[in-house]
Chains A and B, each alone.
Chain A
Amino acid sequence: MSELRPALISFLLLTVITGVVYPLAVTGLGQALFSDKANGSLIRDGDRLIGSQLIGQPFLDPRYFFGRPSATAPQPYNGAASSGSNQGPTNPALATAISARVAALRAFDPENKTSVPIDLVTASGSGLDPHISPAAAEYQVPRVARMRNRPESEIRTLVKEMTEGRTFGILGEPRVNVLLLNLALDGKQAG
């Protein structure tokens, strides 16, 4: 019994500190200092919510840039259930899926004989990856330009503008946010 009292009471008190006070303090400070980011970096169009800057969306229309394949269920880019494919490297289903994705890209763009950057045909870890590599964007420039009847140079310039570099010149990888790029193609500003 003498062992039980300190165990129980310290557990309750530390639960209040680490389970109530601490998260509330982070919430209070986070909301005060970085309100937009703490609430999901949402994008509005007028008073409609049309996305989060950090969460990718599915694009199937060849007039848009495509994002990475997504393995979420039941539909791709399902924000309510993040998931990767978890397919192993020698699983025949993975090679089949990649072949099918390459074939689909080629069908939209028969003239383009260059090989497809790997990130454009492999499922992301989260199923919600908002980015593609600059190479994957470049691969799609001719198609998007043709579909929209706009010069390739104009689309290419837009991609360049939307490309984020490595943080401090070293951390991470160069990347392009597909949702923001497609909004810019439609002449919409993300805000």
Chain B
Amino acid sequence: MNMLGVMQIALFAIVLTALVKPLGGFMAKVFQGERTWLSPVFGPVERGIYRLCGIDASSETSWKRYAIAVLLFNLIGFLAVYSIQLAQGVLPLNPQAFAGVEAKSAFNTAVSFASNTNWQGYGGESTMSYFTQMLALNVQNFLSAASGMAVLVALIRGFSRRQASQIGNFYVDMTRGTLYVLVPLALVLALALVSQGVVQNFSEYKTVELVEPVVMQPEQVTQQTIPLGPAASQVAIKQLGTNGGGFFNVNSAHPLENPTPLSNFLEVLAILLIPAALCYTFGRMVNDTRQGWAVYAAMMIIFLPLTFGVFGAEQAGNPRFDTLGVDQASSATHSGGNMEGKEVRFGIANSALWAAVTTAASNGSVNSMHDSYTPLGGLVPMWLMQLGEVVFGGAGSGLYGMLMFAIVAVFIAGLMVGRTPEYLGKKIEAYEVKMASLVLLLPCVVVLIGTAIASAIPAGTSSVANPGAHGFSEILYAFSSAGNNNGSAFGGLSANTPFYNIALGVAMWISRFWLMIPVLAIAGSLAAKRNVAITAGTLPTHTPLFIAMLIGVVLMVGALTFLPSLALGPVVEHLQMIGKG
């Protein structure tokens, strides 16, 4: 690891932490229905939406009706994305005249974007029309993120309310999150990205004459296509909304999607911005900001060492190339390290930082190809996903996942000292622990069973691109990604096949929507409870002791569940790589 690389990662952590309080405080106001400085602009729009929908903004619902609204709204989103893809051939804004998308691929993509996963089985610049990118995919980038934030806010209300039967109004939470948080942030970021060279237009692709015509078999290539389109507006929200679905095939490794070190810094910051700030929003809404900072600290303490782990592994390079006459040592004039699948403008440090950030959050965009990472460099992103996407995680979904771990942590602490566990003044009882366990365990089941099936049948193994243990890693990565709504991939796996389109589609659907139901059930159950008084026997949940407990539970569940499968993939491959064989 070189000094400038370490400094870049440190700078990222400092800037992110500095933004947590201002944005988190703002979001608390938004979700508590208070006036903000954006109200003069978006207030009339917001009220217009409620009027046309026939929603009374002041009326709230039980957790069951809240859950029905979330599921229904996202089902409509899924159907819209699915049908727009099938019909894009006859829809406008299709200058490249792309045909409708094949049905199984369209199913996969529709689930993928509705579930905030944004796994991509297709190549953007060769498949999707501008109409599909804008009105199907881009819309879901906003609405799936806003849905996740809404569910989180409902859960927080469960903690902060006493003997209440209602946990909020989904349409109000989702609309306010979209209008006051996502749209303004995306607008500013998108313009900043255009200033760096991210394209934003509706032109057809340009053809340029190559400076040196190149002889290829069977004919000479003299021209190059420059793909265009409304990319900046989509890139901005795919980062902010922890979506990650790229405009182009290689996502943010593409020079027109992420052209400069500055665009890279802004994009990678945007991934963690909302999940990090929501920790403070949570603290503010339960009237104890220390609780929010404690969760933030736990996330950071898991995140930073793992980031440096990827950086170290990638910077060390590949010992198999040592005898090939190449220079892998970093110096002032090149970054060295494992540069296969990485871009020169980002080097090792920014690629490693991105890989950790995008898998800590359930973002899944990439600025380098994870499939070509060293075994240990690739193990970290895989494990960050397997932890359940709770180290920052998705917009909303990351923190509600982490709060499920907090419930399990106080439960375990309660068992140790023989007291009924409490969290934020609420008794945690059998019902909450059962529901929280469901949220923790279901993705693990989906990932492991999915991987097992795919590894056992030809339809699964025939898509593998790399031989040996790495091929197994490709399958494990795919199900870890889909089963935790991340969306990144070991891209060598040919996942645009009927088996993977359906299997991964089902995994994404279960992990997103089946988990929202127990989370909302806990919200409803907690809201109905009375507050218990804090006594000398109450475990404080803002102290280093609790932070350590929380980290311990997250890492234990993640390690116990996934170490065997990781041993079969990246660990074996690492031993093979450093061995003489």
Chain A residues in the interface with B (C-beta under 8 A): 3-11, 13-15, 17-20, 22-23, 25-27, 29-31, 33-34, 37-43, 48-61, 64, 68, 74-92, 94-95, 98-99, 102, 106, 114-119, 121-136, 138, 166-167, 170-175, 179, 182-183, 186
Known: A30-B191, A51-B224, A172-B261. 7 other contacts (CB 8 A): A11-B76, A83-B123, A88-B466, A125-B341, A125-B369, A138-B333, A167-B265
Contact A86–B492 (Cβ < 8 Å) = yes
The distance in angstroms between the C-alpha atoms of A180 and B264, with both chains bound, is: 22
B190 / chain A contacts, CB cutoff of 8 Å: 26, 30
A128 / chain B contacts, CB cutoff of 8 Å: 250, 254-255
Contact A6–B321 (Cβ < 8 Å) = no
A20 / chain B contacts, CB cutoff of 8 Å: 134-135
The distance in angstroms between the C-alpha atoms of A131 and B339, with both chains bound, is: 13
B203 / chain A contacts, CB cutoff of 8 Å: 39
Closest to B572 in A: A90
Residue in B230, B332, B336, B371 whose CB lies within 8 Å of A86? B371
Closest to A27 in B: B200
A124 / chain B contacts, CB cutoff of 8 Å: 253, 341-344
The distance in angstroms between the C-alpha atoms of A134 and B344, with both chains bound, is: 10
The distance in angstroms between the C-alpha atoms of A152 and B463, with both chains bound, is: 49
Indicate whether B125 reaches chain A with its CB closer than 8 angstroms: yes
Contact A18–B139 (Cβ < 8 Å) = yes
A166 / chain B contacts, CB cutoff of 8 Å: 4, 261
Closest to A84 in B: B369
Contact A134–B253 (Cβ < 8 Å) = no
The distance in angstroms between the C-alpha atoms of A118 and B262, with both chains bound, is: 24
Contact B468–A90 (Cβ < 8 Å) = yes
Q: A6-B53, A118-B326 are in contact. Are A88 and B492 (CB under 8 A)?
A: yes
Residue in B182, B321, B576 whose CB lies within 8 Å of A98? B321
Contact A42–B206 (Cβ < 8 Å) = yes
Contact A55–B224 (Cβ < 8 Å) = yes
Residue in B197, B224, B369 whose CB lies within 8 Å of A54? B197
Q: A55-B256, A119-B334 are in contact. Are A86 and B194 (CB under 8 A)?
A: no
The distance in angstroms between the C-alpha atoms of A91 and B336, with both chains bound, is: 20
Residue in B73, B139, B260 whose CB lies within 8 Å of A19? B139
Q: Which of A53, A61, A98, A118 has the most CB of B within 10 A?
A: A118
Indicate whether B337 reaches chain A with its CB closer than 8 angstroms: yes
- Of B103-111, B281-289, B372-380, B496-504, which binds chain A? B372-380
B80 / chain A contacts, CB cutoff of 8 Å: 11, 15
B183 / chain A contacts, CB cutoff of 8 Å: 17-18, 22
Indicate whether B347 reaches chain A with its CB closer than 8 angstroms: yes
Q: A20-B134, A40-B206 are in contact. Are A125 and B253 (CB under 8 A)?
A: yes
Contact A170–B7 (Cβ < 8 Å) = yes
Indicate whether B44 reaches chain A with its CB closer than 8 angstroms: no
Indicate whether B420 reaches chain A with its CB closer than 8 angstroms: no
Q: A124-B344, A166-B261, A172-B350 are in contact. Are A80 and B372 (CB under 8 A)?
A: no
Q: A57-B211, A116-B327 are in contact. Are A129 and B343 (CB under 8 A)?
A: yes
The distance in angstroms between the C-alpha atoms of A133 and B332, with both chains bound, is: 10
The distance in angstroms between the C-alpha atoms of A18 and B195, with both chains bound, is: 21
A52 / chain B contacts, CB cutoff of 8 Å: 206, 208, 226, 256
User: In the assembled complex, how far is the CB of residue A142 from the closest CB belonging to chain B, in whole angstroms?
Assistant: 16
- 6 A-B pairs in the complex with CB atoms less than 8 angstroms apart: A3-B72, A10-B49, A27-B202, A124-B341, A125-B369, A173-B334
Contact B72–A30 (Cβ < 8 Å) = no
Contact B205–A122 (Cβ < 8 Å) = no
Q: A18-B178, A31-B200 are in contact. Are A58 and B327 (CB under 8 A)?
A: no
Contact B73–A13 (Cβ < 8 Å) = no
A117 / chain B contacts, CB cutoff of 8 Å: 326-327, 333-334, 336
Q: Quick one: which of B124-145 are within 8 Å of A by CB?
A: 125-126, 134-136, 138-139, 141-143
User: In the assembled complex, how far is the CB of residue A182 from the closest CB belonging to chain B, in whole angstroms?
Assistant: 6
Contact B253–A126 (Cβ < 8 Å) = yes
Closest to A173 in B: B347
Q: A7-B72, A118-B337 are in contact. Are A26 and B470 (CB under 8 A)?
A: no
A173 / chain B contacts, CB cutoff of 8 Å: 261, 334-335, 344-347, 350
Q: A33-B194, A40-B228 are in contact. Are A82 and B248 (CB under 8 A)?
A: yes
User: In the assembled complex, how far is the CB of residue A83 from the closest CB belonging to chain B, in whole angstroms?
Assistant: 6
Contact A58–B210 (Cβ < 8 Å) = yes
Indicate whether B77 reaches chain A with its CB closer than 8 angstroms: yes
Q: Quick one: which of B205-220 are within 8 Å of A by CB?
A: 205-212, 214-216
B39 / chain A contacts, CB cutoff of 8 Å: none
Indicate whether B267 reaches chain A with its CB closer than 8 angstroms: no
Contact A22–B186 (Cβ < 8 Å) = yes
User: In the assembled complex, how far is the CB of residue A88 from the closest CB belonging to chain B, in whole angstroms?
Assistant: 4
Residue in B54, B250, B372 whose CB lies within 8 Å of A5? B54
**B227-246 vs A, Cβ < 8 Å mask (1 yes, 0 no):** 11010111011000000000
Closest to B255 in A: A54
B76 / chain A contacts, CB cutoff of 8 Å: 7-8, 11
Q: A118-B328, A174-B333 are in contact. Are A26 and B191 (CB under 8 A)?
A: yes
The distance in angstroms between the C-alpha atoms of A38 and B371, with both chains bound, is: 31
Contact A23–B138 (Cβ < 8 Å) = yes
Indicate whether B536 reaches chain A with its CB closer than 8 angstroms: no
Closest to B351 in A: A125
Contact B320–A50 (Cβ < 8 Å) = no
Closest to B230 in A: A23
Indicate whether B573 reaches chain A with its CB closer than 8 angstroms: yes
Closest to B73 in A: A7
Q: 7 tightest A-B contacts by CB?
A: A172-B261, A133-B334, A86-B492, A125-B253, A173-B347, A88-B470, A135-B334
The distance in angstroms between the C-alpha atoms of A82 and B331, with both chains bound, is: 29
B248 / chain A contacts, CB cutoff of 8 Å: 82
Indicate whether B19 reaches chain A with its CB closer than 8 angstroms: no
A11 / chain B contacts, CB cutoff of 8 Å: 73, 76-77, 80, 143
Residue in A6, A134, A138 whose CB lies within 8 Å of B54? A6
User: In the assembled complex, how far is the CB of residue A123 from the closest CB belonging to chain B, in whole angstroms?
Assistant: 6
B291 / chain A contacts, CB cutoff of 8 Å: none
Contact B232–A123 (Cβ < 8 Å) = no
Indicate whether B68 reaches chain A with its CB closer than 8 angstroms: yes
The distance in angstroms between the C-alpha atoms of A52 and B182, with both chains bound, is: 31
Contact B126–A172 (Cβ < 8 Å) = no
Closest to B317 in A: A118
The distance in angstroms between the C-alpha atoms of A11 and B139, with both chains bound, is: 9
User: In the assembled complex, how far is the CB of residue B325 from the closest CB belonging to chain A, in whole angstroms?
Assistant: 5
User: In the assembled complex, how far is the CB of residue B266 from the closest CB belonging to chain A, in whole angstroms?
Assistant: 10
Indicate whether B359 reaches chain A with its CB closer than 8 angstroms: no
The distance in angstroms between the C-alpha atoms of A83 and B138, with both chains bound, is: 22
Residue in A23, A56, A76, A116 whose CB lies within 8 Å of B233? A23
Contact A170–B187 (Cβ < 8 Å) = no
A80 / chain B contacts, CB cutoff of 8 Å: 125-126, 205, 225, 227
A123 / chain B contacts, CB cutoff of 8 Å: 340-341
A94 / chain B contacts, CB cutoff of 8 Å: 340, 372
Q: Quick one: which of B354-413 are within 8 Å of A by CB?
A: 366-369, 371-375
